[in-house]
Structures are given as C-alpha cells and as structure tokens.
Structure 1
Amino acid sequence: MEMPKEFESFAEARKNNFLNVKAAKDAGKKVVGTYCTYTPWEIIDAAGAMPISVCSVSDETVEDAEKHLPKNLCPLIKASYGFAITDKCPFIYFADMIVGETTCDGKKKMYELLGEIKNVHVMQLPHRQNDPVALSLWKGEMIKLKEKLEKDFGVVITEEAIKKSIKVKNEQRNLLKEIYSLSKLDPPPISGYEMHKIFDATNFVVDVEAKNNELREMISGLQEVAATGNSPVSKDSKRILITGCPSGGVAEKVVKTVEEVGGVVVCFENCSGIKEKCVNVDETKDVYDALAEKYLSIPCSVMSPNTGRMELLDELIEEYKVDGVIDITLQACHTYAVESFSVKKVCNENKVGFMNLETNYSSSDVGQVRTRLEAFIEML
C-alpha cells in the first residue's frame, strides 16, 4: 500500500508511528480508528485488530472541515472530520473501521457525514452512570461492537481473548498510574509537558506488551532521577492541575507555556490524563459486565449528573499538592463550559487558584494565552 503524498508534511516522530501502522496493515492486521476514551480497546484487540487514536488535535484541516461543518463548532470535531476528508491522517486512511460514541451532539452528527466515506460504527453511550438500565444498555453496546467486528472482519471473538486483552490493558493502566504518581513528589522528576507526551504516545501503539516493557524502563529511570535529586523541575514551580476538554490540540500553547512561566503541570484530570486510568476492568467478572462498568464510570462532562468528576478533582488537588487549577474549555464545548462553574466551587473549597481558559486549536490567541497564564502563575 502506498502512502498518500500529503503524509510527507508530517513530523518525523509522527511519520514513524504512521509507518508502524502501515507495516501492521501490510502484514494483514485490521486497523480500527477510535476517538474517545469510552471505546473498549480490549474488544478490538481481542478481534486481532489494532485499535488506534485517529488525528483530531491540530488546526491544519479545520478550514477544510468548515466547508461541510459550521464554523462555531468544537475544534476537535472539525479537526477529526477534516483529517478524514483530506486524507491527511494515515490512521484514518488505513482504518478498516472507525468507532465513535454519542458523547456530544456535534460528534454524533459528524459521524453521519463521516459514515459516507468510512465504515463507521457508533456506540450509543448512555449519559447516566448510576443507573442499572444505563449499565445494561452499555453492556448491550459492548456486545454489538463485538458482533460488528466479527461480521466485518470474519473472526470469532472469544471471552478468553477478551480476558487476555483486559489483563494487558489493565497492566498498561497500572504502569501509567505508577509513572503518574511520581508527579506527587516535590519537585516531580518529569515535567508535565513530557508526561503529556508519554500518555499521548500510548494512543499509537502497535504492540501493547512491548510498550509496557518500555514503560517499566521509564519508571526505573524516573525513580533514579527522583532518588538523585536531579529533577529538571524547579522546587519553586507552582503545581498546576489541568482539567476540562482534551488538551492534545493545545498542549504547546497551554501546557508548555505554563512551564515556561514558572509552573509545572503535575496532574491532567482530563481525557488525555488520569481520568480513564483511575479504574481498571474487573478481571473476576463476566467480561461484558466488567467492560461496561469500567467504561461507563469515566466521569466525562457528558454525564448527567457528573458528580464523579468533582469528587475526583477534590482527591487529586489534595494528592498532588496542587496550587492552582486550569480548566480548559474548547470553543463551543457546552458541557465542559457549563461544568466550569462547579469546578470553580471545588477549587474555592480547597483554597486553590482557579482559571478557566477558553481556546481553540488556532495560534491566533497564543500571545493572549501566555499573558493570562503568566498573570495566573504570578497570582499563585
């Protein structure tokens, strides 16, 4: 399979990930693109396919997407669709199937358009977590995904295969949590920007078990840094927790800038960070019950009520000795915008600084964002 000419514009590291996927594809492996942490990667892996996050964190295709989508739409949705229609994301290009969930209205309508050019399977996500009916519906969606994969890929997905995938994925979550917990140290042995890159890299893994070995080596290295006191982070840096919308598309102008102006991001509560990693899949239960319980427990703002997010924030502020919280709201993301009021209340109760930052993937507000972040860190 040849690579489209548009791929040549990608950075070397990204191209290496793309080439790994191409090699897997050429070897006969099916590729399944995913957008959200609600997707049960374990079922996809048990089908002998490769689950991988598809491109949605850059503004390079937003203008193309706006030919079909409204301009006042979340940049993540526009980027997701733009990469698909321009063939600029090899992960989408190579994908035999795309799996989405009905998290927000913008996404589920975008999936309708995406379904005209790709094989799209949409899981109907219930928006109530503590409801037996919702759990039963979500379990049914797990089984529908399994049946869709079996039909389209001509495979049989056994419970034993799912159990094996659950074990490997749980192991990865535990390793990532162990790396993450090192940021509780003062100073942490790693910057938040580097931590963000580690977590992001796990979304593009051909061999999870091999990646787990890399994570173990990384833990040893970071523990050594902590033991020798050679942290790259100043002990005077203000300790910041980032919450809100996925931060992948704004990591450069928010996370990196925070650490350039006197802060250090010690915790990411959002989808890009610890939120999905907090709870493992129960390995003692029926696999579909266990997967449904685990994935429905993720406290995204689409849930109503979403008390789990506020409880988690309360715990993380204390555990990571946080000085301030930055709540990122991507433009036109209504659920996170509304929840910002509740996040501020949690911060006030914990007597830590709070800042809501509404932005998008554009570089047009870089200067303004930097000025606001400087003022926030100085205030702390």
Structure 2
Amino acid sequence: MTHDRWFLDAVCTRTWEVHDGGVDQYDGGYAAYVLARAERARTAATTEEKRQNLLRKELAWLRRGAPARTSKPRFRIDAANALIADEPPPRDRMELARMATARLGKDVLDVEDVTLAFGDKVLLDDVTWRLGPGDRIGVVGVNGAGKTTLLRLLAGRLAPTSGRVKRGKTVAVAELRQDVEDLDDLADLRVVEVVEREKRSVVVGGKELTASQLVERLGFPRDRARTPVRDLSGGERRRLQLLRLLVGEPNVLLLDEPTNDLDTDTLAALEDLLDGWPGTLVVVSHDRYLLERVCDRQVALLGDAKLRDLPGGVEQYLELRHAAGEAQPPAATSPAADSPVPGDAVAAAGPTQAEVRAARKEIARIERRLSRIADLEKDLHAKMAAQATDHQAVLALDAELRTLAAEKGELEAAWLEAAETAG
C-alpha cells in the first residue's frame, strides 16, 4: 500500500480502491485507475457532479502531461480522449499571474548573495534567487542538501550567514511543516471549529467557500468535520494543517512534503485547490507526481551548495544524479558528518558508481518480489472468496494478507530509497 502515485504506475498491474466498506478492482496502475473511475463516474447516475469534474480534470492532466505512463496500462486511449475532449488545462497561468501580481506587487522574495553555513557545513554558497508573483516552484534534491532549511530561510525562521532575503511589503507567508505537533494545543476543538477560528469563509478559484464547505472539499465529510482534533488520524491532522494555512489566505505558500499521510483522493482535492490559488508557491517533495502536477518549474539542490534551475524538470534532475553517480571514482566514499546540524542540513555526497549499480540490482530484486506478492495476494483473495462461509479459514487467510501487506510496505520504502540512489 502506498499513496505515491508515480510508484503505483511504475510497479502495479492491478489497483484496488477501498471505500465505503467495499473494494473496487481496476486493471493497471494509478493512471488506469483514474480513467476507470472517470468512466464509471460518467455512466453512474448517482455519482456527484463535483466528483466527476475532479476526475476529468486529473485525467486530462495525466493524458497531456504524462502520455508515456498512460500508454502502459491496459485501457482504451480513445475513451480517455473522449472524456477530456473539452477539458481546459488545469490552470489559467496568465490569469493566476495577473491576480498574484495584484495581491503581491512585483516584489515577492529575493534571495540575494546568500551564504548559509552550520559550522564547516556550507548549504548555500553565494546564492541569488528571485521569486516573483505567481511563481510555482518545486524543489528537489539529495537528502541532506538543505531543502527544508531553504524553506525556513524563505519563511524568515532562519537568518543567512551572509547576504539577505528581501521580502515585498505585501508578502504574507504561510509554511506547512513536516510535523503535526502544532495541533496539540487544539486537541479539544472540532475540525470545523479549528478552521472557523482562522476564518469563516475563503475565496478559492474565484468562488467563496464557507469553512464547512472547505473542510468537506478536503476530505472531511460532515460526521468527521465534527470530530475532536485529538481523535484524528495522522492523515486527517495533515489535512487540517493545510486547511488552517489556506483559510488564512496567504499570498506565499511554502509546503514541506505536503503529501505525507494523505490518501490519493485528498491529494487530488488539494491539487484542485492549488490550481486556483493565486499566489507564489514553493513545494519541497519527493512526490514527483505532485511536483509536475502543481508546479510550473523545478529547481534542485545537488549537495554542492548551489541552487540549480531545471528547465527539463524532474527528468533532468534524475539525469544529473545519474551523471554524478557515473562520474564518481569507484573508490570514493561519502564523508561522515562530524556533528548534527538543524533540519536536513547534513550535506550528502553523491552515490558512487558501485552504489548506483547495487541500487539498480536491489530495485530489480524488489520488483520481482513485489510481482510475486501480487500473485500471492490474488491467490489468497480467490481462496477467501471460495471459503467465504468458513470464518476461521477467512481469518487465517486475512492474516496471511496482512503479512504480505506489511512486507510490501517495507519493500516499497526500500524501492524508493534505492531509486533515490540509482537516480
């Protein structure tokens, strides 16, 4: 199980959706699943119109933005094209830029000749970077290169060693951090009450939404909207964090790994909200799908204390990582950090050629095992269906499924780690 949609497309041949006490099965990975849901939504008279529109919008992006991935699963491309024939692009960039300029003016955030160091570790060395109104930037980079630290710098929570970060007069920054501890003081309040304390209504995409409407749009149905914060799951607390930021109507939004603990439906709803958000957006994430979906440009921190623009997007970043790995001499080793520094500030050296080869072998091994697990799960579900009236047998089979699910989760985490090394 994973919420990483790019990973689902890369390794899965079948997708199961668990919802409303039932399970729907789809052939293919995430892209095929989105199409199948959209087709079902189109033909099902009871499906809500807003759900159909959201699926159509995401499907349109999948077909236009990543056609190579949608050609792999077994679904009818002509049906996809028919569904999105009249669907506009996800964002009107010119209109959003105009609105952002009206809210922000010409000056937003200017990083000027900034050097940032912790002891002997230099994370940024004489970096100049200008963020304008309506810019939507994704930040990628090697672990420990300083992505979270860069957000802290932009938010004003961290001062540079030298240089300065200049902020426009009308800039209102909101920052989503990775931890959810900021909700602990609100444990006794209900979800909708937390949002209403910030603001009772907000304008999104030119439409005014009440706090309860916004709460529902980001995955809190009416019964969950009245749930105390202390009883929320990790994913629900993450959603509530996002809601508190959005109702404050900031004009600069900094998101640090915003997809942590969010299910795919909530991610789609978040992306839909961000499509109509007229401000400057900076996103740090390992979720390639999210970065390419909501951002118009990407920049990279490669561990060399520089900030590099990526005209070719995430694909260019992966190529740079691969080239760096090939350039490393076989005997090279990664230096160990002498002492810990705040956040993700420990600079990491690129992988050696041997490490890249080992990572690729590991990826191949993991994918073989994942394929085998998929076959085992299929067999177990067939047995459960055949023995549905035997309660003890079903419990035993379910225990086996849980064991496989746990192993699959560990393998997926290992796959992502190996993919980071392999580039």
TM, length-normalised to structure 2: 0.25
TM, length-normalised to structure 1: 0.27
Greater fraction of residues in strand: 2
